[in-house]
Amino acid sequence: MAPMTSAGEEMHALVERLYPLCRSITGDGVRATLDIVGEYVPLQVHEVPTGTQVLDWTVPQEWNIRDAYVADGAGNRVVDFAASSLHVLGYSVPVARTMPLAELRAHLHTLPDHPSWVPYRTSYYKPEWGFCLAQDTLDALPEGDYEVRIDSTLKDGHLTYAEHVVPGRVPDEVIVSCHVCHPSLANDNLAGIAVATYLARALAEESPYYTYRFVYAPGTIGAITWLARNAERIERVKHGLVLACAGDSGQLTYKQSRRGDAEIDRVLRHVLAASERPHRVTEFTPYGYDERQYCSPGFDLGVGSLSRTPYAGYPEYHTSADNPDFVSPEAMTDTLAVCREAFGVLDRNRRYVNLSPYGEPQLGRRGLYDSLGGRSDAKQAQMAMLWVLSLSDGEHGLLDVAERSGLPFATVAAAADALHDAGLIKA
């Protein structure tokens, strides 16, 4: 695994590489995105046919687009899909017409409050067509006739998603989910894709306890499709994290699972607080990213969401201003570091039973005090051993010990290892 500094630069380079692709909830843009991610981690790609029933939804027709533009009377493209995939309303049906500007205006989307930005708009489930452009561009258009062309197809095909699995020592799973359905938006969604990919690479080098399943799927319909196709094995999923908006300059934000007291919630709260990073922890709401699918009451999985500035919380959200310059290697590196710290705690947070529970066992004759000689944190390490022994009753995990004692989790885990090797506790 590359050092964290170079990992940040590599993640940013991946964002820049993916940025031009026109992604949607289906189509070749998703496949091209997964092809590139597959160069970094091996992926199992799934194709689900149009019309497939997935829970209460149906896989829609597949949308692809080759070209689109609005041209003035001289043939100049005043709005051009080739310049940015944001210029076309997502899932636009094909159109080839000439019409006056007065008629065209009903199909044009702008952001008057940010006149130089292009908005991101879609019409997935209602047949429609349209273009997105800067208000400044629209204001400069003279009256007259314009050629309107959208060379797209909307027909039976497939919904595409992919998985990458990092095998663990147990079959119990942690899912890490990111959405792959947005076109040229760097923070939402490419930074999440990049952080997830480099997190997978890091975990593969660490021989984790849990099995980690990375899900790259279109938002909403993709997560619903994954849940429908994995319902029979959903009991394996013990924890989960949705990654989105992972690269902006805002402070980290953790949105708790619907349960609010799932182990992943406790772990993220602890890691963020212990790190002394500026951060926020928010309550679950049934709106946002795919945590709302994983946490729906029928599944009720312990899945939270980690972002920096959260969903719709920054002016650049769903606009052309969410470009590669809006995200930074440093912010993605920080998000990746928190994920690694959190999963390190999650992997190590196990319960133990004290094998010498009647009175305090003699640590000195077992060499446990001697092993602390010369350590600057010897007193802290000794207290960690005593706390682990005290709470190793089969009901408290190491995170409980860290929270109750106020000691660093790493110190508590090291004490548990020493006590386990000395035969004083067992998992």
Distance from C-alpha of 296 to C-alpha of 144, rounded to nearest angstrom: 51
Three-state secondary-structure class, residue 238: strand
Q: Known binder of ligand: residue 172?
A: no
Strand extents, DSSP E, 112-228: 131-132, 145-155, 158-166, 173-179, 211-217
248 closest CA partner among 311, 309, 316: 309
**Residue 307 and residue 329 in contact, taking contact as beta carbons nearer than 8 Å:** no
Q: Which long-range contacts (CB under 8 A, 24 or more apart) does 110-113 make?
A: 110/134, 110/135, 110/138, 111/135, 111/319
Q: Known binder of ligand: residue 158?
A: no
Distance from C-alpha of 311 to C-alpha of 248, rounded to nearest angstrom: 12
89 closest CA partner among 127, 133, 126, 121: 121
138 closest CA partner among 202, 78, 49, 89: 78
Residue 398 structure tokens: 């190491």
Q: Known binder of ligand: residue 109?
A: no
| Residues contributing to the annotated binding site for Zn(2+) | 182, 188, 318
| Residues contributing to the annotated binding site | 182, 188, 318
